[in-house]
Amino acid sequence: MTTVLGIESSCDETAAAVVRDDGVVLSDVVRSQIAVHAPFGGVVPEIAARDHLRAIVPVVEQALAEAGVCLEQVDAVAVTHRPGLIGALLVGVQAAKGLAWAANKPLVGVDHLVGHLLSPFLKRDGLVSPEPLFPFIGLLVSGGHSAIYRCDGPDAAEMHELGATRDDAVGEAFDKVGKLLGLGYPGGPVIDRLAQQGDPDRSFTLTPPMAHKDSLELSFSGLKSAVARQLALKAPEGEQAVADACAAFQRVVVDTLVTKTLRAARRERVPNVVLAGGVACNGELRRRMAEACEHRQLRLFLPAPRNCTDNAAMIAYAGAVKFRMGRVVGFDMAPLTHTELPRVTRKGRGLRDA
């Protein structure tokens, strides 16, 4: 059995975890920087890098202590080396290099998106949930990324983008709409909660973005602007009106994500579906995707919410898979801002209804 120490610092979470290659999580420490960035309404890259620098050693120490292992007992050190904020990535990468060098352990570089897509393989607290089966359609929806992948295996070379956002990520849209509604940062979880009390039909009507029948591409910046226009015309008055606006926005987002994911499964003739990324915590998305998959006789694998948001357990697991394949990197490895999963979707303005 292989045991890997994973380190994650690509955005605003400083995280370290110890995970076995069967997916069992021995420890998982996440220190969120949300409070540090909240006054700015979003992640400030330089502040993120400085905060990672403060947190990284205590977080790694805690992860090793909670797993009951010392550095000498792990088989490899895995670290997110792409994609992400470069200053933030540098902190995790340099820490991982120092640890691997000092303890004479192999170093593995993990793509953050591959980590998210493998997150449903994690097993925690003795809970046994069925392992995803390959091939699967992976809907990865987070604050920085939104795309649909066909995954034929756990290696990045077996993961193919079928469609991605042309502009904003879904989580970014949740956060921007949250800001417009004065709900603080990050807006996603608050919108999710308020929408439960809201009635989407009592609020404004929004057109689903990129609704063209063939497209697997996504676009959320137009939707965000549409919400901004509606709010400028008539600002919601009172808690109920805000909840109704949240419900209207969330419904159109979930409609889009469910439709496109099912379209991908049908087109690729793939019977398994995986949700990943922070937005996969969304209650309505989880419920509606489960209903739709059941209706179409697709098997849905939903990671626990704790596995959806950024964490190092998914990085350690993806690292263990790579380590098993002999894919270690040298100490000259440098982080990169973009993913290794090839993009097929052009960035830029989404065509209207195309």
Q: Assess 309 for contact with ligand KG4 (CB under 6 A).
A: yes
* Contact partner, 281, from Zn ion, ligand KG4, none, Cβ < 5-8 Å per class: ligand KG4
Q: Assess 14 for contact with ligand KG4 (CB under 6 A).
A: no
How far apart are alpha carbons 89 and 83 in whole angstroms?
Answer: 8
**Smaller CB distance to Zn ion: residue 142 or 250?**
142
Which residues, numbered 301-320, are part of the site for Zn ion (CB under 5 A)?
Answer: 310
Q: Assess 21 for contact with Zn ion (CB under 5 A).
A: no
Element (DSSP H or E) covering residue 250: helix 239-268
Q: Assess 281 for contact with ligand KG4 (CB under 6 A).
A: yes
Position among 20, 264, 310, 345 found at the interface with ligand KG4 (CB under 6 A) = 310
Sign of torsion over alpha carbons 217, 220, 222, 227 = positive
CA angle 130, 136, 142 (to 5 degrees): 90
Contact 99, 128 (CB under 8 A): no
Q: Assess 215 for contact with ligand KG4 (CB under 6 A).
A: no
Which residues, numbered 249-278, are part of the site for ligand KG4 (CB under 6 A)?
Answer: 277-278
Which residues are CB-contacts of 80 (< 8 A; sequence separation ≥ 6)?
Answer: 7, 8, 9, 10, 89, 92, 93, 110, 111, 112, 115, 315
How far apart are alpha carbons 342 and 159 in whole angstroms?
Answer: 9
Which residues, numbered 105-144, are part of the site for ligand KG4 (CB under 6 A)?
Answer: 142-144
Q: Binding segment for ligand KG4 among 58-66, 205-213, 279-287, 331-339 (CB under 6 A)?
A: 279-287
How far apart are alpha carbons 102 and 289 in whole angstroms?
Answer: 46
Total number of residues that touch Zn ion (CB under 5 A)? 2
Position among 121, 136, 149, 174 found at the interface with ligand KG4 (CB under 6 A) = 174
Contact 121, 23 (CB under 8 A): yes
**Smaller CB distance to ligand KG4: residue 49 or 103?**
49
Q: Assess 198 for contact with ligand KG4 (CB under 6 A).
A: no
**Smaller CB distance to Zn ion: residue 27 or 142?**
142
Grouping H, G, I as helix, E, B as strand and the rest as coil, residue 169 is coil
Q: Assess 142 for contact with Zn ion (CB under 5 A).
A: yes
Position among 23, 115, 132, 171 found at the interface with ligand KG4 (CB under 6 A) = 171
Helix %, strand %, coil % for the chain, to 5? 45, 20, 35
- Provide the minimum distance between the beta carbon of 223 and Zn ion in the complex, in angstroms, as a whole number: 21
Positions in the binding site for ligand KG4 (CB under 6 A):
11, 142-144, 171, 174-175, 186-189, 192, 277-279, 281-282, 309-310
